[in-house]
Amino acid sequence: MAPSFSEKLSTAGMLLSATTKSTFKYAVHGPRLPGWKLKNQLHRDLFYAFVSSSTPQIFDDSTLDTIDVQAIGAEMQANPLPEKKLTVKQGIYKVVAISAKQVTFETDKFDNIGVGKHDMLSLIKKDAEQDGTGREISCELVVATSAKNKLEKHAAEGNKSLLTCAPVCPGESILLYVHGGGFALGNSAGYRHITCQLSESCAVRVLSVDYRLAPQNPFPSQVYDVLVAYKYLLQQGFAAENITVSGDSAGGTLAIALTHLLRFIGSPVPGALVLLSPWSNLVETKPSVEANKDFDFVVLRPLESPISNPRLLYKPGQRLTPEIRAEMRDPLVSPYFGDFKNFPPTLVQAGSKEVLIDDIEALVKAIDDQNPGNPDSVVFEPATDMYHVFQNFPDYPESVKAYASIGKFVAKWTASQSSPANAE
């Protein structure tokens, strides 16, 4: 349900109040961190005000019987991130519908995928039995101007379109993007500024997937939808080694979980991963959550809260039993606990002052420790004094540097030397 006029007015008033307070504090006390300008402080405080006011404060299961988790999820989704428009100068995009029914799987390969086995097989079966074209997964294909300029002559030579998902030339690279939003929020339109910038920096096309959201669609719906999108690219003719999978925050969770899942079922893994502030451990709270709470806009509710994002994802509405807590350490739920030996080359970027930084550093260490003697296994780039997914603000100097680094990383690991497009 769309927000009412009074709700919109209340939100506007709240944001105006947050803007006034933040500006006043900056003028009187100076920047909260040495590297911050006024816009950094305003961005943090406005996002924090919006996020912290979006859901009620419920800290444990004591009132679970009186809570409608589904209604809370719907209320959260009633105020999505605004659509990010693209100018003609920036690039072009098109909504692409993937028929889940037309992406097929060998179901016997899913025997050892962990706690998601039963539900994922049910999802596959349900899609296969749909009438007609079946359920469609909405995606956006984004092509920045630099990618368009590089690829359009190859598209013309092959009489192909840049706004369809088939390769326009042999060996073409592509990036599959998985948006964040705590598994319960977000869509491709709200992250178009990121996907266009990735397309610009990497000079590749980007397919952004609108996976189903929790709690209406609990685990493993999200990672399954991302799997369908990835397998769709393979079916269209892209080689796995020419696919980069990228995601921010919860999208980073799903990007890593996808790679674990592909290894479980014996499918080819992507050529590289690019993770922006990934959330890989959903069950443990590290010291940085408290230490950096004044510098980040992310509000991490404790796992004990039935409306914490991990609980909205995994068995929403159920009490947090020791069994459920243990199940949430499964690599497809909390990918930090998976096997990273011989994992695809991975670039991890994060803000040094985000609440998840301890979790992110632990992920980087896990990948590095499990690949001794391989300096290419993981590259970690923390940005000083930055918060969660600072790449949301492409005009920051830190973001400009981050996107340039992503472009070099993607070119190194996924650009086929035989591809005329990648050779230019």
Query: Which positions are annotated as active-site residues?
Result: 249
Phi-psi domain of 414 (left: phi exceeds 0; alpha: psi -120 through 50; beta: other): alpha
Are 271 and 243 within 8 A, CB to CB? yes
Could you say which DSSP state residue 351 is in?
Answer: E
Sign of CA dihedral 110, 217, 222, 290: negative
Position 101: which residue type? K
Cβ neighbours around 424 below 10 Å, total? 11
CA distances for 378 relative to 35, 341, 381, angstroms? 26, 11, 10
Are 305 and 380 within 8 A, CB to CB? no
Q: What is the distance between the terminal CA atoms of the chain, rounded to a whole angstrom? A: 48
**In the structure encoding, which two tokens stand for residue 378, read together?**
């993981």
Helix (H) or strand (E) holding 311: helix 309-313
Q: Burial code of 292-313, b = ≥16 C-beta within 10 A, e = fewer?
A: beebbbbbbbebebbbbbbbbb
Sheet containing strand 136-144, edge to edge, reads 91-99, 136-144, 205-209, 174-178, 243-248, 272-276, 346-351, 378-383
